Each structure stands twice: as structure tokens, then as C-alpha cells.
Amino acid sequence: MKHYLATLYMLSMSSSILMASQTDFKEYDDIKKVKIISESSEIEITKSESGNNISRVEFTQDGSDPNSCHLTFTRNSDELIILSKKRETSGLSFCRVCKVNFRIYTPSSTDFEIEAGIGNLNMKGMLNSLYFKSGVGDVNLDYDALPETSKEIKLDIGKGNVTASFISKANLRAQVGMPPFFSRFYNEFTETTSDPLHYFVNGNMGWGSFDIKKKPQ
């Protein structure tokens, strides 16, 4: 029985080693949520145009040492977990930087949970819930339609700039915490109590700008 369970676990998890600047990809069907944990990444998320339930993850290691990163993909039911971390090696491993960049094409309803030490996020065409946490990083979000149910967008950034654009007829509420001297908050939407609520933006920022804008119709 233990051998059988171990076999199932190995089938659900895969790892990859990339040469520097080499791009590879993986595809999964019927994924509802993607979780990414990375030391350093540039992440681009775009709604797939194929109209099917396939999620495609393209990934490229940014660096000169192909052995600096340990990258794993684990599927747990309808959730995909991507872990990118520095490979434990002897010698001067502290000098090596593990940076893996991702370009992801997925159905617009796929939720994302992302944690990166250093990371920039660009997302376009989605209708999803999002949690993004980064010590240092910029975020650009482009929501060009209305979701059927309310979606929360939670951003927790130590230092960076956020630009989040939404279709102008969206009912949107925002709650953003930031120190008054090091950050700026700008919101083009009027606070609403109308239903249905389409988006709730929940943000925390230590240093930078946080802009919520209306997309021109």
C-alpha cells in the first residue's frame, strides 16, 4: 500500500532543470488554481485564446548557472503548485541567484496565489481572484470584463508600484493600507455599496504607488 501511494505521488510531481535562457513548457487540463512560490521571477499571466480548459506554463531560467534552481510542478486535484528555489549545493551557493520567469496562458477563471521574494507581475484578460505577495516588485493588472461572482484581489508588497485597471462599469471597493510619507494611493472609482460587487481590492504597501484606474470603453 505504501509503495502504491508513493508511486501516485511521484506521478503527480515533476521537476525540471533548465539551461540558462532555455524555455520549456508544461500543460495541464482542468486546473482551477495555480500557486507559485519563487525566490525571484518575472510572471506574465494571460487568458488563453483556445477556448479549452488547458493551462500552459512556459518557464525560463534567467542566469548563467543551470544548476542554481530547483523547480518542481505538483498537481493536487485541480490545483497546480509551482515551487522555484535555490538548489542546495556545497561551496559558494549563497552567491547564486535563482530566477525563473513564467509566461502562463490559462482560462480566465483560474485563481492565482503567488509569493515571490523579488517579482514583477503582469496579468491581462482574467476574471479571477488573485493573491500576490512580494518583497520588491511591480504589478500591472488589466481586467477588461465583469465576473459572474465577486472576486478579491489581494496585494501585499514591500516596495513597488501597482497599476490595476478595470472596466469602467464595474462595482469596485478598495481597501489599501500604506504609510503616508512613502506611498501614494489613487482610485478613479467611486466607493460603492451597490450589488453585485464585482471586485474587492485589498492592498498593503510599504513604499511606492498604488493606482486603480478605469479602462476606457
Instruction: Pick left, alpha or beta for residue 168 (phi over 0 → left; psi -120 to 50 → alpha; otherwise beta).
Output: alpha
Look up the pTM and report it. 0.87
Measured between alpha carbons, how far is 34 from 121 in angstroms, rounded to an integer? 14
Q: H or E stretch including 15?
A: strand 13-16
Pairing of strands 79-86, 100-106: unpaired
Query: pLDDT (tens digit, 9 = 90+) per residue, 136-152?
Result: 999 999 998 999 999 99
Residues (pLDDT < 70) of the chain are 1-21, 63-66, 89-96, 217
Query: In DSSP terms, which residues pair with 140 in a beta bridge?
Result: 122, 163
Q: What are phi and psi of 207, to 5 degrees?
A: -155, 125
The full set of domain ranges for the chain reads: 1-119, 129-217
Instruction: Give the model's pLDDT for residue 161.
Output: 97
CA distance 81 to 90: 27
> 19: which residues sit within 8 A by CB, 6+ positions away?
61, 66
Check whether the bond before 196 is cis (ω within 30° of 0): yes
pLDDT recorded at residue 64: 57
Residue 5 to residue 37: CA distance in whole angstroms: 25
